[in-house]
């Protein structure tokens, strides 16, 4: 600290922040190398070092000439978010608390299953959408995560499982953008990070194994298919506008009809016509778990190629809702199944370490004013800025 103050005083020039290469997709990294007068193919070398071999020290990237490494070190770096803690649940679920610039912490969860391992990644510090049943929403909102902070979560998980060592089996087989935050409110950075997940020279995940979940930011969802074809999950939680306005306030801006239409359009534009959206429905006792709700939901979804994932509500401190009873859960599932839907029930995992669905809270330095501005951004329904490529 004192050293950099002295340097600034002597040079009378503020130190230029270095560019963090961690969050650059292949095309953006290619642009970066062109801008500094180098060949675009350097991007492939760097991406492989960072995301296939787990190397973040530019000095150790030995297929780059010494001169190039020196040049890069003057202007760039590879900086990861900091792991504050890592907890393991008795059922094998692992939860990380990760510190990001500005002092807030986000949470990330890994859920192992017999045939796959799913990493639930955060996209924002907190969330401005404030769904009434969600622990994250209660934390307020600080800011969007950068692409580096999003892909950095996958890097941290891969490293912790020894995935960068050639012989270690791949433990993270699936990524779901379902952690803290609404991914479509952080469109560009989320798309960049997902591109790195899919990139053959990075993690090489199939687009079927990367899922973006949205609560219904319709203008952004309408544009997603222009730049991505990952799997889609929609957070519905209610079968009619009246109830959804209460549970998921963004519904007052973009109602169910618009949301379902937008999701159907996205699925329709997928190159693989077998693809379906996943409908997420959190069941809360006496709130949205009645027979008529199931019937209404079946009718609402009839034109959307989808499967339905029922999530028994996981209570968190201060939450006003209760978990659905098993009887009601089974009845709800059977009604939908009888209507021809594929229905799964999400097993609660990581409950003992507060890592279950809807329980992620992190440590958000809530900026109330920023949150207000952010909400205004929603109200004004600004067109979402789309990146190329
Ligand atoms: S459910 Fe999703 S969109 Fe709603 S407040 Fe929680 S994180 Fe945000």
- Each residue's pLDDT, cut to its tens digit, for the chain (389 residues) gives 333 333 333 344 556 789 999 999 999 999 999 999 999 999 999 999 999 999 999 999 999 999 999 999 999 999 999 999 999 999 889 999 999 988 889 999 999 998 899 999 999 999 989 899 988 877 888 899 999 999 999 999 999 999 888 767 778 999 999 999 999 999 999 999 999 999 999 999 999 999 999 999 999 999 999 999 999 999 999 999 999 999 999 999 999 999 999 999 999 998 877 689 999 999 999 999 999 999 999 999 999 999 999 999 988 877 889 999 999 999 999 999 999 999 999 887 767 666 665 666 667 776 645 345 445 545 654 444 433 33
**Ligand 1 neighbours by CB, cut-off 6 Å:** 127, 129-131, 134, 136-137, 180-182, 215, 235
Report CA-CA distances (Å) from 27 to 33, 77, 151, 282, 377: 10, 18, 15, 38, 29
Contact 276/306 with Cβ under 8 angstroms? yes
Assigned CATH for 82-380 = 3.20.20.70
Which residue among the candidates 6, 55, 107, 113 is catalytic per the annotation?
A: 107
Whose Cα sits closest to atom 3 in ligand 1?
A: 182
If you search the block for the tokens 């997902």, which residue do you land on? Answer: 194
Domain span(s) for CATH 1.10.150.530 in the chain: 15-77
> What pLDDT was estimated at residue 35?
95
Domain span(s) for CATH 3.20.20.70 in the chain: 82-380
Q: Is residue 191 within a helix (H) or strand (E), and if so which, with residue range?
A: helix 187-198
Q: How far is the CA of 1 from the centre of ligand 1 (A)?
A: 38
> Which fold would CATH assign to domain 15-77?
DNA polymerase; domain 1 (1.10.150)
* β pairing state of 82-88 and 94-99: antiparallel
**Computed over its alpha carbons, how large is the radius of gyration of the chain?**
22
Contact 192/23 with Cβ under 8 angstroms? yes
Q: Give one word for 255, left, alpha or beta, with left for phi > 0 and alpha for psi -120 to 50.
A: beta
Taking alpha carbons only, the member of 377, 389, 299 closest to residue 143 is 377
In angstroms, rounded to a whole number, what is the distance separating the alpha carbons of residues 170 and 313?
Answer: 31
From the centroid of its chain, how far is CA 278?
15
């Amino acid at each position: 600290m004192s050293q950099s103050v002295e340097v600034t005083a002597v040079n009378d020039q503020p130190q230029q922040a270095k560019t963090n290469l961690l969050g650059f997709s292949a095309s953006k990294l290619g642009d970066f190398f062109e801008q500094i007068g180098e060949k675009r193919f350097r991007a492939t070398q760097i991406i492989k070092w960072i995301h296939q071999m787990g190397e973040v020290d530019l000095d150790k990237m030995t297929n780059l000439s010494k001169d190039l490494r020196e040049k890069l070190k003057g202007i760039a770096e590879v900086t990861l978010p900091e792991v504050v803690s890592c907890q393991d649940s008795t059922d094998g679920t692992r939860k990380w608390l990760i510190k990001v610039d500005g002092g807030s912490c986000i949470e990330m969860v890994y859920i192992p299953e017999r045939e796959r391992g799913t990493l639930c990644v955060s996209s924002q510090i907190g969330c401005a959408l404030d769904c009434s049943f969600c622990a994250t929403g209660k934390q307020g909102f600080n800011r969007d995560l950068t692409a580096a902070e999003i892909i950095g979560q996958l890097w941290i998980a891969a490293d912790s499982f020894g995935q960068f060592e050639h012989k270690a089996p791949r433990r993270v087989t699936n990524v779901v953008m379902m952690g803290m935050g609404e991914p479509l409110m952080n469109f560009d950075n989320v798309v960049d990070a997902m591109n790195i997940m899919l990139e053959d020279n990075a993690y090489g995940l199939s687009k079927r194994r990367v899922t973006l979940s949205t609560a219904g930011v319709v203008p952004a969802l309408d544009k997603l298919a222009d730049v991505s074809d990952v799997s889609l999950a929609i957070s519905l939680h209610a079968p009619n506008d009246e109830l959804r306005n209460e549970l998921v306030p963004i519904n007052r801006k973009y109602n169910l009809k618009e949301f379902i239409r937008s999701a159907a359009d996205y699925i329709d534009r997928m190159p693989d016509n077998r693809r379906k959206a996943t409908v997420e429905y959190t069941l809360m006792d006496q709130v949205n778990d009645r027979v008529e709700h199931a019937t209404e939901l079946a009718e609402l979804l009839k034109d959307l190629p989808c499967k339905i994932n029922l999530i028994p509500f996981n209570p968190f401190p201060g939450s006003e809702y209760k978990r659905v009873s098993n009887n009601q859960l089974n009845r709800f599932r059977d009604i939908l199944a009888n209507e021809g839907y594929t229905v799964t029930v999400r097993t609660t995992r990581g409950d003992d370490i507060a890592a279950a669905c809807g329980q992620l809270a992190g440590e958000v330095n809530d900026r109330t004013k920023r949150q207000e501005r952010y909400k205004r951004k929603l109200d004004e329904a600004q067109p979402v800025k789309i990146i190329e490529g």
